[in-house]
Each structure stands twice: as C-alpha cells, then as structure tokens.
Structure 1
Amino acid sequence: MPHHLMNLRHVPDDEADEIRALFEAHDVVYYETSPSRWGISMGGFWVHDDDEAARARALLEAYHRQRQETQRRVYEENLARGESGGVWFMLRRHPVRTLAACLAILVIAGLSLLPFVRIG
C-alpha cells in the first residue's frame, strides 16, 4: 500500500529539490506526483514499502528540523538588517499596496457579511 510522505502543495522549488536530492543520496525508492493546478489533488512524495516509509519519514523529519533552523536564522538576520517585518514594515515600505490590500480585505469581508447583516 502506498505511503504518502509529504504534500507538495505550496512547497518552494528549492525545498522540493533538496528533498529529492536527500532521497537519492540515501537510496530511498520513491515516486512523486505533482499537485494539480486547481488544488484538487495534493501531489507529493510517496513510497510503497513500510520499512522504506519509516526510513524516509525519519530523513524528512531531520531535514525539516534543519531547514526550520536555517530559515529562522535567515529571517532573524533579515529582521536585524531591516529587510523584513510585519504589517507596519510593509506599510512604511509599500504604503499604497498595503492600504489597497487592506481595503480589498475590508470590501470582501463586508460583501461576505452583508446578507447576514440584512437578515436582522
């Protein structure tokens, strides 16, 4: 029976490439399905064998732990240099785009809630 190891929806290309290289370096026999355009099928990495699935999951867990540390360190370095931040950072850096996005969110929320407000 196939074992789904990892969903590939919203996975960056560099991460997927690193996982492929990891599996090939450790001789994991896997196959890959790509996610659909419309989000119906999730795609991912799969294996058939139970033992292979356990070994691949252990490799993925170690890889994701290391990637999380690396990405957190990069984010903190960017934050220290002032190259990333939250809403206020985006508002200062791109005020028109940020205000337009906030306005769009309010309009969509208002239109979505309008039928419920009119009931009362």
Structure 2
Amino acid sequence: TVGGKVPVCVIQNTGMMESGDSIRGMAIDAGFPLVMLIGYRGWTRHGVITDSAARYTETFLHAMGINYYLVESDDDASRISVAFEEARATNRPVAVLVGDEYHGFNRM
C-alpha cells in the first residue's frame, strides 16, 4: 500500500497501453498495488468491435499478467471492491474494465 491505501488510476484502454512500461516498472516489478479503472473503449457485449483498441485490451492485460474484472452494469459494481482487495493482498496491479455501454459515452 501507499500511505496505507491502495492507489487507483482512472484511464482509457488506449492510455493504459501507452503506459505499459510505467505499469511494468512501478506496479509489477516494484510490487506496487494499483487498481486501474479502465474505460473499455470500443467494446460491447454484442461483439461488435468499433475500435481496434478493444481488440487488444484483454490481450495486453494477459501479456502483462494483470488480472481483471469486467463491469457492465450496476450489478457488477462489487467487482471494484474485489479488485481493491486483490491488489492489497497481492501487491500487484488489478484492472477493472468498464464496458463502453455502461459508462454511456456511446449512448444515443
């Protein structure tokens, strides 16, 4: 922890991929617990990928060895608490992917 707390970063999936080396160096190699709330740009539960960033998001997380949870609705909100508990217990980054449809940026 940092000051007794688990830090949180709010970022879009494209920014997460741009920050890969910082995530590797600080959160993974240094054993820094971190929760990343990630806007899952381009993803929908219907499988229609509108942005290539969505295609690579989970692949990126797998490659970095970062566990993740998907939040698609209010019913999934407890997964955020689970991510904080996991980050604290493992001293590793944990991601929460916030589905594009849930945060509403693409709602008409």
TM-score normalised by L of structure 1 = 0.27
**Larger RCO: 1 or 2 (CA < 8 Å, sep 6+):** 2
- Structure label with greater radius of gyration: 1
More helix by share: 1
TM-score normalised by L of structure 2 = 0.30
